[in-house]
Structure 1
């Protein structure tokens, strides 16, 4: 008997997608050269990527951006680290927030690194870019969400709570952000067993999840996404594409950009 033929078609399909996504991630190799070079993380580049708008040139414009970059070392093949930056109109510098799993005290860190700094050598990409009208109110909601993060004193890289859990919390609390974390944002689906059902990480849909290990999300931003042991498979209908583990997605760029009455700038 052909054992492969006895395996359910759905399982074979998911296994094929997993192999495809891991293969593409290995081929792209999102890790920086320093990840395998001498000096390790201590010597990895953390300088500005040069992609954040100049806060001085746009001093009169309120701005919110969310970034994500490959995590350090071998984990960079499979997961990303996200963070959020913002400035109010009149400010000439950004405030940055992300969750850091090392060090003492709260894991929620303010201005831990440069606003658009490389994440230990990995180049960040923009997930969200809001500027202009309505962003001041959004910042108020973001700060309230940061203050209400329920896992500020705990951290687990897998399955969470971690840095992706933190950004997912902000996305749920601030749906105007329209944050669509990629499928390889491991930890975004973490929910305590006491609250398995609720709003999806984008704030635009519904989610059922058991500790981020088994669940389903349906929403305007994330489309339909199945979570199996932290590996996410889905179909994005808003910006057509496949949502896959390791590689994140294959398809059209899904970055959210909204410049409402904002001045142009770099």
Structure 2
């Protein structure tokens, strides 16, 4: 039976990858992924066969991985962060229905929520949810409903894909929705280029976040009613007494 590893490479730096991810890529004949992510790992795995597809060609990328495995190769399909969090794991299982002879193994990685949280301090210590602001595959009406529900329930909210050239005002819209239930003074944070060159982190209020410029490489954290700033770090208490 042929095998494909579906690997979350974390932010992309070698020391941010798990040992299991590194071993799997070393064992692979071919490494396949989105062009940007393959470029992040190329230097660490010389001698491998690298194949890429651009954005919006995810299905083609999965088919390519299965077709290469069909030739007898061990293949690594890589994605940033964690393969099972807005990653390729689900699509690989869907496409894999047509390739029953190929075994899939999912290898987790550090997703932006946990990687960014470590930079900001400790924002995810209590209940939280992840919401992507990209409406490429999800209608904005559904995203809006999820934002409102999360705000009303006082979740800490971590936003992926907060902005792009076509969605330059989506973070503003999200903040306006949040402020229907959250105070404008709610502590928030942003981290861009997590664990990569040019990493930046900022702690601010929800009102200030609304007018902050972000991009697709930024992860946004919106606190709950108990989240506070401690020494310029974003901290959400778990609820321990006598602290």
Larger Cα-atom Rg: 2
User: Under a length normalisation based on structure 1, what TM-score does the superposition of the two structures give?
Assistant: 0.29
Higher helix share: 2
TM-score (norm 2): 0.30
